[in-house]
Amino acid sequence: MITCRDLTELVTDYLEGRLSLLERIKFQFHLGMCSHCRAYIRQMKQTIQMLGKLPEEPIPPDIREELLRRFQNWKR
């Protein structure tokens, strides 16, 4: 079982298709149960679309920070 925190750390790998099968199953299982994380993923995908493509570099730290910050607000 992964936590919301783990999920935010795996999200870029997930979107880039770099998770192992087992990780992907755990990831999707968590998404199935957690509406916060579903919203987080949706936000992340929108951000990526806005940028036009998956960044070659990891998600820029400022965007990542912003998403994490919003995500933490949802959890309160």
> How many chain residues interact with Zn ion (CB under 5 A)?
3
The minimum distance between CB 12 and Zn ion, in angstroms, equals: 16
Of 4, 27, 11, whose CA–CA distance to 75 is shortest? 4
Q: Are 56 and 27 spatial neighbours (Cβ–Cβ below 8 Å)? A: no
**Both structure tokens of 2:** 């992964």
> Tokens 């979107």 correspond to what residue?
15
The minimum distance between CB 62 and Zn ion, in angstroms, equals: 23
The minimum distance between CB 7 and Zn ion, in angstroms, equals: 5
* Per-residue contact string for residues 29-68; x = within reach of Zn ion by CB under 5 A: -----x--x-------------------------------
**Both structure tokens of 8:** 């935010």
